[in-house]
Structure 1
C-alpha cells in the first residue's frame, strides 16, 4: 500500500489539513508551504488518549520486572496534546521530566467489540509520539499516572498521520541534542497495534481521531530546559520538541508536592534497585 502523510498546520491564521508532497505541504485549495516553514499543530483532535504501560521487551528487561498477563493502561488528558516543533513545559519546581519515544495509533472508524483480526480496518494510520512523564509526582500518582503523564504539553504527536504504514519490524529512536538515547524496534512489542486496539474496544468505544500510545523501548531518561528531543520512527518521520521551564512554580498551598524518593530518582535516572540493596518494587503496572 502506498504511504500517504497528512498534517495539520496553521496557514494564514487558519487551521488547515494538508498532504505532504516531498518537501511541500499542499492544502485542499491549492495553497502550498514548505515543510520547513510550516507551523505545525497536532495532526488529530482525539476525544481520548490511551497509553499502554509496558510493552517493549528491552524496557521490561531494563526495569528488572516482568509483563503482566495482559496489557494495562493509563490515560493522558487531551489537554496534554502538543505538536511537532513546539515547546514541552517542565513546571518550575519540578526536576524529573523524562522522554518516551513511541508510536501512536490513530483510529479511523468507530470501533467497539472487534477482534484483533478486524482491528486493522479501524485504524486510520500512525503517528510519532513522545509520552513525556513528570516523575516528581510518581509517589502520588503511580497508579493512575494522571499528574505524571497528564500535565499540559506532555503529549506531542506528529508531524503527521501516515496512512498505509506497516508497523512490523520498524526502528524507533529517541535522540537528545543529537545523541541517540533510545534505539529499539517494534518487533519488541509483546502486544501489537491490532491487539491493543481490540483490547481497549472491548469496553471503550474508540472514535475517529482517538490515539493509543503503544509503549516505549529501554532507556527513558531525564531531559532539561534547553534540550532538543527528537523521536524518529522508520517510515513515520521525526517528531521534534524542545524543553522549556514554565514561569509558574507548583503551588504549595494545595495538593501533593513534588518528591525525590528512591523510586522517583531510580525511575528518572535509570533503575538500579537491586544494586542499592533496596527492595525492588513491582513496576509492571506503572509505566
Structure 2
C-alpha cells in the first residue's frame, strides 16, 4: 500500500488502465509480500501511525528492502487478530551491518560527555530486564548529525523486532522515528532513528534515550565503549528476595577477555522492595569494557 497520484489512461491497446507514481510504488511494495501480507510504504505507514495509537498497534516496521536501482526502503506490515501476516516477508530483504563504518564515523564526529544506563528487572521469574540508555551528544564536526545507529545484541532469540518494545526519544521527549532496520536477526537487531532536529557543532544539552525490554537468562550485562565518554552512570534495580545476587562491577580486557573486579565502589539504596546499585565512572577511553553479573 502507498498513497500517491494515480491516473486513468488508455494503454497501447486502447484499454482503460490505471497508471501513476502512486500505484507503481504500491505494486513494488506488495511485490515483497507473501500470502496474507498487508505491506505499506514508510510514507503511508507513518501518516497512519501518527493518527492514533490503534494504528500504531497494528502497523509495525519490518526491515529494509532493496528497491529498483539499489535504493533501500523501510517496509511496514499491518497485522492483528484475523488479518494480515505476522511473519516477516523475506523477499528483497536488505540485511547488512553498518556498525563498523558507523563506529569510525562516530570517533571522528561525536563525543559523549555523559551516558546514563539504567537496568531494571521487571519480571524476576522470566528475568526480563528493561534497558534504558541516555546519551548526551556533542557534535565535534562541521556537519550536522541527523540520525543515529543503534545495536542490540541478545542471549535469546527474538524473531520479531517489535517484541522488544523499543522506544527512542530526545531530551524534549520527542519521538525519534525509526528510518531503517538493516539487521533483524533473532539474536541481533540494528536500526537507525532520526532526530527531530539535527545536532550541530554549536548545540549543547542534546540527548537521546533508547529503551527496550529483553530476557537476560545468563544474568549479565556488558558495555563496551567504542568512543570516549567523560562520565558513565550505571544503575541496576532489582526486587529483593527473588534469588538475585547483588551485582559486582568487573573490568574486561578486550584482548584476553579476562575479567577483574573493579575498584569503583557503588552506591546502594533501597526503594520499597527493590535494591538499587549505582556506579559512577569518569573519563572512559574507547576500548574499555565493564560487566556486571547478578
Q: Which has the larger radius of gyration?
A: 2
TM-based fold match above 0.5 = no
Bigger proportion of residues as strand: 2
Please identify which structure carries the higher helix content: 1
TM-score by length of 1: 0.27
TM-score by length of 2: 0.27
